[in-house]
Amino acid sequence: MADDAKQPGDPALAKRLRQALRGDILFDAFSRGRYSTDASIYQIEPLGVAVPRDRDDVAAALAIAREEGVSVLPRGGGTSQCGQTVGRSLVLDCSKYMNGIVSVDAANRRAVVEPGIVLDRLNKVLRKDGLFFPVDVSTSSRATIGGMTANNSCGSRSLRYGNMVHNVRAIDAILADGTATHMGETSGNFGDDAAVPERMRDLVRRMRALHRREADEIDARIPKLLRKVGGYNIDMISDAGHNMAHLLVGSEGTLAFFNAIELDLQPIPQNRVLGICHFPTFYKAMDATQHIVKLGPAAVELIDRTMIGLSRDIAMYRPTVERFVKGEPAALLLVEFAGDDGDDNLRRLTQLGTLMGDLGFPGAVVEAIEPAFQSAVWDVRRAGLNIMMSMKGDGKPISFIEDCAVALEDLADYTDRLETIFKRHGTYGTFYAHASVGCLHVRPVINLKQDIGAKTMRAIAEEAFAMVREYKGSHSGEHGDGLVRSEFHEKMFGTRIVAAFKEVKDAFDHDGLFNPGKIVDPPKMDDRSLFRFKPGYATPDIKTVLDWSEWGGFAGAVEMCNNNGACRKSDPGVMCPSFRATADEQHLTRGRANTLRLALSGQLGTEALTSDTMRETMALCVSCKGCKRECPTGVDMARMKIEFLYHYKKRHGLTLRDRLVAYLPRYAAVASRLGGLLNLRNRLPFAAKLGEALTGLSARRKLPVWHSEPYRDLQNPPLPLRERDGVRGLLPDDASGAAPSPSHRSATGPPELLSKGLSREGRRDKCVVLLVDTFNRWFEPENARAAERVLHRAGYTVIAAPAPDNGRPLCCGRTFLAAGLVGQAREEARRTIAALKPFIENGIPIIGLEPSCLLTLRDEFTVLLPGAESAALAKHAVLFEEFVASEIAGGQFALSVSALPERAALVHGHCHQKAFNTVGAVEAALRLIPGLDVKSFDATCCGMAGAFGYEAEHYEMSMKIGELAVLPTVRAAAADTLIVAGGTSCRHQIGDGAGRQALHLARVLDRASRSAT
Ligand SMILES: Cc1cc2nc3c(=O)[nH]c(=O)nc-3n(C[C@H](O)[C@H](O)[C@H](O)COP(=O)(O)OP(=O)(O)OC[C@H]3O[C@@H](n4cnc5c(N)ncnc54)[C@H](O)[C@@H]3O)c2cc1C
Ligand code: SF4
Ligand code: SF4
């Protein structure tokens, strides 16, 4: 197939596809750019992308491709590491629509699925039958069964369950000539069965003839290891009968398109235990593996010293690592025993301890019996590669010899020699993963932006593969061949086997319709014109408005995305709500990062960064910061969106809606006086419609209601300390939102005075600053007043931070950031930092109520105004719940509380609370209340996300995101369960979408403590 028959984006081809297919056709440059990479080092622009709805669409696309003379590249999650999912072809993405379960036969433990279904989703469905599909790849949250099948993927427990090839029973495939076939078991006399189409019989005959002819060579050259996924599985052909589907497994999209895959399922083991073996040297861990596997474990996985160190540095993993790592081991082996007999598993765990003692490491096993602890340990192991990829800078751990496999007896020597090779080339690597099957992952750190990097890669590859051959190992033990490995088939398998591979390709796909250049006829693996960072790749400096120095610039931050696809997960966690709702690559953290990278490096034409197409790419990013926490390499798209908006708005100007939202903190005091009038908009449908026409704020939404008694701390005179000391017990017995009388208010005033006074009386440690944000001040002042009362009752002196010149209240600037008005936001930051500085210098905590506002002080302020002052503020700025929880933990929170009529509380964490890990603090604070059953739930964004859900064009999407988890969960809660939500927009969304009133934690504590005082 002539790949250059068409140019990328060919309009005639796109038109034909649009006419014939029901699915999406994506031929614009931005979409092509998003599909030009997988998780490998390569980047090739496809001709275009079709997202078929069903097998009819696939058949139609293949027919058009044949007629137009273009090749086809099937695609799942695009997480391949070897470049098998990139090519100058028509990409067929099956992940969006072709992702159903066709049937489950629980009695016979079989399932038939469409290729685009993600492994975790399949296993979630199978769980109710006590079954699972056991090829547990690390990318289980986004790897599709189609991609796993075509890559012959392997999991951590392959020692027990084997690879894909051992678990796929049959495949419904469509061949290059359009023949639809069912590939499965074929008996010895298969060729005589007239009921089988001649095309199929011919294929079987040819494969068997090939096998007969090459049997000796196959026996001599194909490694006899479990972890062998290079080339086609010609060693599995047999005259006596074989499974034709096994030839398609591992074919990397080069032989046929899979429409459906039949899988063998396994019963979920009723019991698992984990022993974490500690070793003083890496060599000893490798040497011990061969003995450990004799105990019959389901998995033996390696974590080395570098990985332990990197995991300790990641907040999310630190507590787990502290629990399962004792001391400073050079390497750990995670040894799992699984089966229905719990006693037997424990017995084997004891044997493991004895064996470790015999090997010279007594007491070196940490036991994990509790399932939650085990799964936390596995989470760290699964995140291994991702953790490594969090390395900043141009030198990155590169995947090319990452999954070589050798026999266990050779493992220690092999890894030792590999390290010597790395050293000789001036680099190093980190080892981890599947020790049990001799397949360790290792990525040397190389800078592929430079020619010397590409040369180093080739030199290491040649030396490493030569060594693997010496050990009769496998150069491709897990991730497949793609562009990075296919070239080495000749050296590893010899010319006869490579000729046999070509014969297979020719028999299935004579004209080269499917995924050219993979497995057979590959290009050079170090051809830099195929790299993501091609010769001449450059990202000209743009004058950024935020500080990106931590990554060496904005482009460096964007390039942190290595396409591993973790943002495609759907459960659990937050990332990435817009993808969860759309299943579109465009609306995915990865899609956005790739688009930004291509734009910054000039690959999408001039002014791409500030184009409307880029705006569309960023439009559904709700700035939830889910990626900041959950992206393994720390891609922080919310921050990138601010940078983008700044440049975009600078070029295109602000809309009226931008201004209305951005300047809200500035005009709120005036508008509040007209609150009664403005609130009419919510009651008069025509006013809402007119409002939508004028401002773009959805008429289907009620806007936040201006409160008749806003929070007005600034109007209160400073109180002498004596009076402040006496405030406890004088508070109004009222949570209705009415303003307390001045005598009950917090102290305000010049900070020098206050701090002096406080110092004199030694009360500084019992003082806090309550920073009331725009939303809690003008719309929901009852929250601020409740917080104030709670803090007073608990014995704190609450200081309302004075604004300079007693002017408008302090502000975090978030509304400006949301409109790209970074200069204004910086101004607010400067003002806030200056006003709070004296308190910070006195060690007084700054407490906020609204997560997105307060956490701006901890997050964006540090890049708006990098330096010691913003860093100091970041250290002192805490959410109300964090303060309460830490005081409770320190035994200093003297709040008397009594039981509430409600017996349960359901906590919905705002995305930023999740990003900064504060939901646990809300739960801890609520647990002060006797008899209250407190639960939080795992969910992505509620969909409101600041102003997003109010925007007319985003209303539907906002509700769709809400319906992913938050709204149904709240609806399902018992009527007398308290719904607790820290974010003002979350409370509104819950009110609008679930018809329930959600309360801020402060109000719940206020109610519980009111009756107790
Ligand atoms: C961080 C990380 C960890 C990983 N861990 C593992 C691991 O533990 N074990 C492992 O084996 N791999 C691992 N991989 C590699 C990769 O995730 C797996 O190979 C995965 O199975 C690929 O699935 P996918 O849906 O992303 O497939 P894609 O990358 O989209 O496609 C893979 C191949 O399948 C072909 N294909 C897709 N759909 C079809 C179809 N319908 N018909 C025919 N061909 C099709 C494609 O053309 C391509 O050649 C890892 C990758 C990363 C980035
Ligand atoms: S954005 Fe993060 S999670 Fe998503 S593909 Fe890129 S690196 Fe992976
Ligand atoms: S901030 Fe949220 S919506 Fe935006 S890319 Fe990250 S996870 Fe997705």
B/e letters for 947-977, b = 16+ CB within 10 Å, e = fewer, are bbbbbbebbebbbbbbebbbbebbeebeeeb
Mean pLDDT of 324-344: 95
Query: For residue 725, what are its two tokens?
Result: 């000391």
Tokens 């440059």 found at: 29
Q: In the prediction, which pLDDT does 740 show?
A: 38
Cis before 930? omega within 30: no
CA distance 254 to 282: 39
Q: In the prediction, which pLDDT does 744 show?
A: 37
CA distance 588 to 595: 10
pLDDT digits (tens, 9 = 90+) for 465-488: 999 999 999 999 899 999 999 999
Instruction: Name the pLDDT band for 743 (thresholds 50, 70, 90).
Output: very low
Q: How many CB atoms lie within 10 A of CB 879?
A: 26
pLDDT digits (tens, 9 = 90+) for 506-525: 999 999 999 999 999 999 99
Q: In the prediction, which pLDDT does 736 show?
A: 36
CA distance 168 to 258: 12
Task: List, in order, residues 6 or more apart from 470 with CB less than 8 Å away.
Answer: none
pLDDT for residue 759 is more than 90:
no
Query: For residue 492, what are its two tokens?
Result: 């590893």
Mean pLDDT of 192-203: 86
pLDDT digits (tens, 9 = 90+) for 920-956: 999 999 999 999 999 999 999 999 999 999 999 999 9
How high does pLDDT run on average in the chain?
Answer: 92
CB 481 less than 6 A from any atom of ligand 1: no
Instruction: Name the pLDDT band for 738 (thresholds 50, 70, 90).
Output: very low
Considering every ligand atom, which ligand is closest to the CA of 617?
3
Instruction: Name the pLDDT band for 745 (thresholds 50, 70, 90).
Output: very low
Instruction: Name the pLDDT band for 379 (thresholds 50, 70, 90).
Output: confident
Q: How far is the CA of 85 from the centre of ligand 1 (A)?
A: 8
Bridge partners of 933? 904
Q: How far is the CA of 39 from the centre of ligand 2 (A)?
A: 10
Minimum-distance ligand 2 atom for the alpha carbon of 637: 1
pLDDT for residue 664 is more than 70:
yes
Q: Choose the residue to mutate in 576, 614, 640 for probing ligand 3, maximizing ligand atoms within 8 Å of C-beta.
A: 576
CB 482 less than 6 A from any atom of ligand 1: no
pLDDT for residue 722 is more than 50:
no
Torsion over CA of 273, 143, 526 and 476, rounded to 10 degrees? Answer: 50
Q: In the prediction, which pLDDT does 4 show?
A: 63
Type and span of the H or E element at 277:
strand 271-279
CB 85 less than 6 A from any atom of ligand 1: yes
CA distance 421 to 428: 9
pLDDT for residue 757 is more than 50:
no
Residues in contact with ligand 2 (CB, 6 Å cut-off): 561-567, 589-590, 593, 627, 631-633, 635
- What percent of the chain lies above the pLDDT cut of 90? 85
Type and span of the H or E element at 228:
none
Query: For residue 342, what are its two tokens?
Result: 């719990």
pLDDT digits (tens, 9 = 90+) for 87-116: 999 999 999 999 999 999 999 999 999 999
Nearest Cα to Cα of residue 82 among 424, 515, 388: 515
Q: Choose the residue to mutate in 35, 138, 589 for probing ligand 2, maximizing ligand atoms within 8 Å of C-beta.
A: 589
pLDDT digits (tens, 9 = 90+) for 527-584: 999 999 999 999 998 999 999 999 999 999 999 999 999 999 988 889 999 999 999 9
SS (H, E, C) 907-946: EECCHHHHHCCCHHHHHHHHCCCCCCEEEECCCCCCCCCC
Q: How far is the CA of 985 from the centre of ligand 2 (A)?
A: 27
Bridge partners of 570? none
Q: Choose the residue to mutate in 399, 560, 564 for probing ligand 2, maximizing ligand atoms within 8 Å of C-beta.
A: 564
Minimum-distance ligand 3 atom for the alpha carbon of 911: 2
Instruction: Name the pLDDT band for 721 (thresholds 50, 70, 90).
Output: very low
pLDDT digits (tens, 9 = 90+) for 140-181: 999 999 999 999 999 989 999 999 999 999 999 999 999 999
Q: What is the pTM of this model?
A: 0.93
Q: Choose the residue to mutate in 37, 40, 112, 138 for probing ligand 1, maximizing ligand atoms within 8 Å of C-beta.
A: 138
CB 913 less than 6 A from any atom of ligand 1: no
CA distance 638 to 911: 11
Q: In the prediction, which pLDDT does 718 show?
A: 39
Q: How far is the CA of 868 from the centre of ligand 2 (A)?
A: 31
Residues in contact with ligand 3 (CB, 6 Å cut-off): 575-578, 589, 592, 621-627, 637-638
Tokens 């050990």 found at: 471
pLDDT for residue 800 is more than 90:
no
Number of H helices, E strands in the chain: 45, 28
Q: How far is the CA of 99 from the centre of ligand 1 (A)?
A: 15
Question: What are the distances in angstroms from CA 289 to CA 279, 568, 988?
Answer: 11, 34, 56
Q: Alpha helix locations (H) across 699-803?
A: 721-725, 751-761, 774-778, 781-793
**Reduced to 3 states, what is the DSSP secondary structure of residue 128?**
helix
Considering every ligand atom, which ligand is closest to the CA of 584?
3
pLDDT for residue 726 is more than 60:
no
Instruction: Name the pLDDT band for 764 (thresholds 50, 70, 90).
Output: low
Q: How far is the CA of 576 from the centre of ligand 2 (A)?
A: 10
Task: Flag the least confident range among 4-8, 373-377, 663-667, 760-764.
Answer: 760-764
Task: Flag the least confident range among 248-262, 531-545, 756-770.
Answer: 756-770
Q: In the prediction, which pLDDT does 716 show?
A: 38
Q: In the prediction, which pLDDT does 180 show?
A: 95
Minimum-distance ligand 1 atom for the alpha carbon of 562: 53
Q: In the prediction, which pLDDT does 581 show?
A: 97
Q: In the prediction, which pLDDT does 920 show?
A: 96
pLDDT digits (tens, 9 = 90+) for 593-621: 999 999 999 999 999 999 999 999 999 99
Q: How far is the CA of 153 from the centre of ligand 1 (A)?
A: 7
Considering every ligand atom, which ligand is closest to the CA of 301?
1
Instruction: Name the pLDDT band for 3 (thresholds 50, 70, 90).
Output: low
Q: In the prediction, which pLDDT does 49 show?
A: 98
Q: Are 929 and 963 in contact (CB under 8 A)?
A: no
Q: How far is the CA of 776 from the centre of ligand 1 (A)?
A: 47
Minimum-distance ligand 1 atom for the alpha carbon of 433: 8
pLDDT digits (tens, 9 = 90+) for 113-138: 999 999 999 999 999 999 999 999 99
CB 636 less than 6 A from any atom of ligand 1: no
362-376, 388-402, 707-721, 729-743 — most confident range: 362-376
Q: How far is the CA of 385 from the centre of ligand 3 (A)?
A: 21
Q: In the prediction, which pLDDT does 633 show?
A: 87
Q: Are 800 and 836 in contact (CB under 8 A)?
A: no
Higher-pLDDT residue of 797, 313: 797
473-477, 583-587, 719-723 — most confident range: 583-587
The CA-based angle 103-107-113, given to 5 degrees, is 20
Task: Please tell me the number of Cα atoms within 13 Å of 122 on its side-chain side.
Answer: 35
CA distance 258 to 152: 13
